[in-house]
């Protein structure tokens, strides 16, 4: 069966520090991978998606970036965090032709 792992679960980082959140999927190959952010009291905002290794599409301009160094690994990064980067970050995967997502357990990021 397929599983998705996301870590860390919580993170407190100072403004200006770097960020690296990791997401891996097991039990499938060539998944479509997604990073969403959920800010307090708001819905989900799609940040990045990837349909293959090295292929990243950005949905919104920001100081975050994403990379996909391996087929089942998706990394969300920042060189310098802003206070506004605080939120709940969710990784998700979907197979081509599938109609729904499977979400990871999320990372709560607090920038102080």
Partner 1 sequence: AQSVTQLDSQVPVFEEAPVELRCNYSSSVSVYLFWYVQYPNQGLQLLLKYLSGSTLVKGINGFEAEFNKSQTSFHLRKPSVHISDTAEYFCAVKDNFNKFYFGSGTKLNVKP
Is 29 near partner 1 (CB under 8 A)? no
If one counts every other C-beta atom within 10 angstroms of the C-beta of residue 35, the result is 26
Give me the residue label for tokens 């100081």: 63
Is 87 near partner 1 (CB under 8 A)? no
Q: Considering only 11-19, 39-47, 67-75, 77-85, which stretch makes contact with partner 1 by CB under 8 A?
A: 39-47
- Sign (positive or negative) of CA dihedral 3, 24, 60, 108: positive
Applying the rule CB under 8 A, the residues between 40 and 79 that interact with partner 1 are 41-44, 46
Q: Site for partner 1 (CB under 8 A): which residue of 65, 73, 95, 103?
A: 103
Helix (H, G, I), strand (E, B) or coil at 84: helix
């Amino acid at each position: 069966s397929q599983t998705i792992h996301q870590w860390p679960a919580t993170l407190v980082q100072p403004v200006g520090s770097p960020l690296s959140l990791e997401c891996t999927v097991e039990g499938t190959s060539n998944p479509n991978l997604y990073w969403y952010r959920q800010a307090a009291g708001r819905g989900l905002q799609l940040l990045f998606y990837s349909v293959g290794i090295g292929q990243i599409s950005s949905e919104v301009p920001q100081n975050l970036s994403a990379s996909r160094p391996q087929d089942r690994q998706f990394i969300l990064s920042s060189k310098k965090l802003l206070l506004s980067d605080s939120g709940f970050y969710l990784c998700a995967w979907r197979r081509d032709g599938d109609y729904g997502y499977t979400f990871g357990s999320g990372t709560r990021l607090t920038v102080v």
